[in-house]
Amino acid sequence: MKESTQYLYENDAQVNSKEVKPVFLVRGYLLYTACFYIAFLLFRLGSERFSSMFISDLLIFSIIAFIIIIPIRFFQHAYTRFFIEDHKISYENSFINYSKKDIKYENIKEVMIKRNFLKRLFGIGDIQLITNIALNNAGIKLLNIKDPMEVYKLIQEKIAQHQK
């Protein structure tokens, strides 16, 4: 888990903060692309104009994937930060628009961890913090976190400390 300990100052008090950065895996996107190619190949096998159509469609998809999609996803990951602090968890994204969200541990109702096959293979996962189920934008999703079980346990400990 790539994390750094910082000391922030809020209201003249020193606050311990751990930064958790999402992981960007080109290998994961390459595996998704390979799966798409295989599915596309199987779909085109029954076509009479298989060779010429397949090569042109494959070339167009490759250009879109490697020139547009992967760099955008890379910068989305690069400009996203999560801070696990003493009294709250903060989410910050400054890729195109700036957004920041803070959730106090007292307000967290549920913590979920999700890891599909590829994420388990690469040692990453997603953690979702749910605060109020009635609202659409409630909670924070920590996407593509390295060592998600370690972060999950840390968040659970902080929640338990604040519920006493």
CB of 128 closer than 8 Å to CB of 120: no
Give the Cα separation of 142 and 153 in Å (integer): 14
Give the Cα separation of 142 and 158 in Å (integer): 16
**What is the residue whose two structure tokens read 């920041």?**
100
Q: What would the CATH number be for the domain defined by 1-164?
A: 2.30.29.30
pLDDT single digits (tens) 64-74: 777 777 777 77
How sure is the predictor about 139, in pLDDT bands with cuts at 50, 70 and 90? confident
Q: What b-and-e string marks burial along 71-107, b requiring 16 or more CB atoms within 10 Å of the CB?
A: eebeeebeebebbbbbebbbbeeeeeeeeeeebebeb
- φ/ψ of 37, rounded to 5, equals -60, -45
Q: Which two tokens stand for residue 89?
A: 């968890």
DSSP 22: B
CB of 21 closer than 8 Å to CB of 90: no
pLDDT single digits (tens) 15-62: 566 777 666 666 666 666 677 667 766 666 655 555 566 667 777 777
pLDDT at residue number 130: 87
**What is the residue whose two structure tokens read 């910082």?**
6
Look up the pTM and report it.
Answer: 0.66
CB of 39 closer than 8 Å to CB of 45: no
pLDDT at residue number 112: 93
